[in-house]
Amino acid sequence: MRPGGVTIHGLDGIPEVVPGDDLAGFILEAADRGEVGLRDGDVVVVTHKVVAKAEGRIVDLRSIEPSAVASQFASEWSKDARQVDLVLREARRIVRMTRGILIAETRHGFVCANAGVDASNVPGEGMVCLLPEDPDRSAQQLREEIARRRNVDVAVVVSDTFGRPWRLGLVNVAIGVAGMDPIADYRGETDPSGYTLAITRMAVADELAGAAELVMGKVDKRPVAIVRGYEYRPAREGGSSGRDLLMDPAMDLFR
């Protein structure tokens, strides 16, 4: 962290995003309009929803013919069978499917509710949004486009809202990362008491996503925030990504 701390700027005025829109252009225009601009070292946090919309990851539930499994579960718990079926299609693995709750592992490796299938903030009856196909690629493309147009070196974090086992409330986490190491690794360093840290790795990309949500909100139509003043570590040689935050199944005690 640089002297003076960290500031977070929510960007207003980004219009409703539809497939094919120039999301990088929307972000730059909003940053200029709000007199925030973009500087080297900024972190641009973008909700996965606007990324997915721009990439055409929208599904009309009228096109879905639900399976027998989806229909039975939906009937038992007053759910939309078409949306349940879409969740099952998007899932690599079902973690829990009980009491009307569907926790799934997505093809990306994320464990979350409904495999990321979401109807919130999606205009149109029966329209739902899927996760971006490759959130890291989406983050990298935004980063490259911002650099090309403004000649600034920023990091980009694509965020989504996840629940947490054993904790109430939702938090924003990073599902796509470009331009920074998403983990601050303190292993081998010595704390002020002389203790050598052995396992401490901080998920700083998740922390940045969570901090950005404080100004983005869920109903404020503010899907992008600029975090300024946090001195992140650059991406490691060979590349860093949101996948670095996924737990290795061999180390997962709760699988």
* Whether residues 86 and 185 fall in one domain: no
* Whether residues 145 and 52 fall in one domain: yes
* Whether residues 83 and 195 fall in one domain: no
Residue 123 lies in domain? 58-129
> Among residues 72, 107, 129, which one ends one of the domains?
129
Kindly state whether residue 239 falls inside one of the protein's structural domains: yes
CATH number at residue 44: 3.30.1330.100
Give the chain's mean pLDDT. 92
Kindly state whether residue 158 falls inside one of the protein's structural domains: yes
* Whether residues 46 and 149 fall in one domain: yes
pLDDT (tens digit, 9 = 90+) per residue, 227-248? 999 999 998 877 788 899 998 8
Kindly state whether residue 186 falls inside one of the protein's structural domains: yes
* Whether residues 163 and 239 fall in one domain: yes
pLDDT score of 252: 81
CATH number at residue 73: 3.90.1660.10
* Whether residues 37 and 101 fall in one domain: no
Q: Is the pLDDT of residue 175 over 80?
A: yes
Residue 3's pLDDT band (cuts 50, 70, 90): low
* Whether residues 64 and 184 fall in one domain: no
* Whether residues 118 and 175 fall in one domain: no
* Whether residues 151 and 95 fall in one domain: no
> Considering only CA atoms, which of 9, 54, 44 is closest in space to residue 177?
44
Rounded to 5 degrees, what are φ and ψ at 162? -120, 150
pLDDT score of 198: 76
Residue type, 31: A
pLDDT (tens digit, 9 = 90+) per residue, 87-126? 999 999 999 999 999 999 999 999 999 999 999 989 999 9
* Whether residues 71 and 156 fall in one domain: no
> Among residues 113, 129, 145, which one ends one of the domains?
129
Report the number of distinct structural domains present in the chain: 2
Torsion angle (degrees, nearest 10) of CA 2, 209, 182, 193 = 60
Kindly state whether residue 52 falls inside one of the protein's structural domains: yes
pLDDT (tens digit, 9 = 90+) per residue, 128-154? 999 999 999 999 999 999 999 999 999
Residue 241 in contact with residue 178, Cβ under 8 Å?
yes
Q: Copy the structure tokens of residue 207.
A: 């922390």
Kindly state whether residue 251 falls inside one of the protein's structural domains: no
Helix axes 23-33, 135-150, angle to 10 degrees: 50
Kindly state whether residue 1 falls inside one of the protein's structural domains: no
* Whether residues 141 and 101 fall in one domain: no
> Among residues 110, 129, 148, which one ends one of the domains?
129
* Whether residues 191 and 172 fall in one domain: yes
Residue 37's pLDDT band (cuts 50, 70, 90): very high
pTM above 0.85, yes or no: yes
Kindly state whether residue 34 falls inside one of the protein's structural domains: yes
Q: Which H, E and C letters describe the chain, residue by residue?
A: CCCCCCEEEECCCCCCCCCCCCHHHHHHHHHHHCCCCCCCCCEEEEEHHHHHHHCCCEEEHHHCCCCHHHHHHHHHHCCCHHHHHHHHHHEEEEEEEECCEEEEEECCCCEEEHHHCECCCCCCCCEEECCCCCHHHHHHHHHHHHHHHHCCCCEEEEEEEEEECCEEEEEEEEEEEECCCCCEECCCCECCCCCECCCCEECHHHHHHHHHHHHHCCCCCCCEEEEECCCCCCCCCCCCCHHHHCCCHHHCCCC
Kindly state whether residue 45 falls inside one of the protein's structural domains: yes
pLDDT score of 132: 97
